[in-house]
Amino acid sequence: MWWVLVLLLSLASRAQSLEKLNMCMDAKHHKKEPGAEGQLYQQCAPWKDNACCTANTSAEAHDDNSYLYNFNWNHCGVMTPKCKKHFVQDTCFYECSPHLGPWIQQVDQSWRKERILNVPLCQEDCHSWWDDCKDDFTCKQDWHYGWDWTTGRNRCPAEASCRKWTDIFPTAQIMCEKIWSDSYSYTNLPKSSGRCMQLWFTGKNPNEKVAEYFLNHAPWQRVTPTTLLLLATMSFSVVLL
């Protein structure tokens, strides 16, 4: 009897991993399940074969007056095109990626029930983002919270003045980790490592293999046979009761 329970526990663990490998967040604009979209707009196009975003969401991700979150990129003057490109890619990554399961966490927020936390970004992506934005201006380090929304769009709070990007974000690491309240984690890993997530890519999505690696090394995948046996014994005891 006990070995049946061990097998069931193992199968349940494996099923949980497979589910997390291809899933969508429970958030404001995400689809219920990932799937092909056929056509996604411009910088969201790499996800068209398997996406958590719709074509309409992908188009809105590129719009300065997008209804997605009413977020104003130009809160400290017009954001330069080279800087904005990275925020569009970031939005596409967040809205469209079906391979964020290992880093999805439950939250109690009015506009979403899940978020990502500590997604390991490849070094090149983080540094190129910071390099292309370092001559821009902003007034806040954490862009998730603390804005003045009285007009319906985000404005700098009264106590925060516009400053040069590098004054707010002295390093690429600080920017990547703090701008979306630890949604991303800075790494020294290159894209070729297969151990970090790419915000943008061409061709086949490389992030599936990265997610699979992290799922295979997740705590629930490192359960020893002894632990499984103990869990099975406890379950069997409960059954007997």
Q: Quick check: 79 pLDDT over 50?
A: yes
Here the tokens at position 131 are 């390099």
Predicted confidence at residue 183, as pLDDT, reads 93
Predicted confidence at residue 34, as pLDDT, reads 85
Domain boundaries, given as residue ranges, for the chain: 22-234
In this predicted model, what pLDDT tens digit does every residue of 115-126 receive, in sequence order?
Answer: 889 999 999 999
Predicted confidence at residue 45, as pLDDT, reads 87
Q: Quick check: 66 pLDDT over 80?
A: no
- With 0.75 as the threshold, say if the pTM is over it: yes
Here the tokens at position 188 are 């020294």
What average pLDDT is seen over the chain? Answer: 82
What does the alpha-carbon distance between residue 236 and residue 177 come to, in Å, rounded to a whole number?
45
Cα separations in angstroms, 34 against 44, 200, 219 = 14, 18, 25
In this predicted model, what pLDDT tens digit does every residue of 2-56 receive, in sequence order?
Answer: 444 444 444 344 444 567 788 898 877 778 888 888 777 788 889 888 989 988 8
Beta-carbon contacts of 44 under 8 Å, excluding residues fewer than 6 positions away, are: 51, 53, 57, 58, 61, 62, 92, 95, 96
Whether residue 133 contacts residue 170, with contact meaning beta carbons closer than 8 Å, is answered with no
Predicted confidence at residue 219, as pLDDT, reads 54
Poorest-confidence range of 5-14, 72-81, 144-153? 5-14
Beta-carbon contacts of 96 under 8 Å, excluding residues fewer than 6 positions away, are: 40, 44, 47, 51, 52, 53, 57, 58
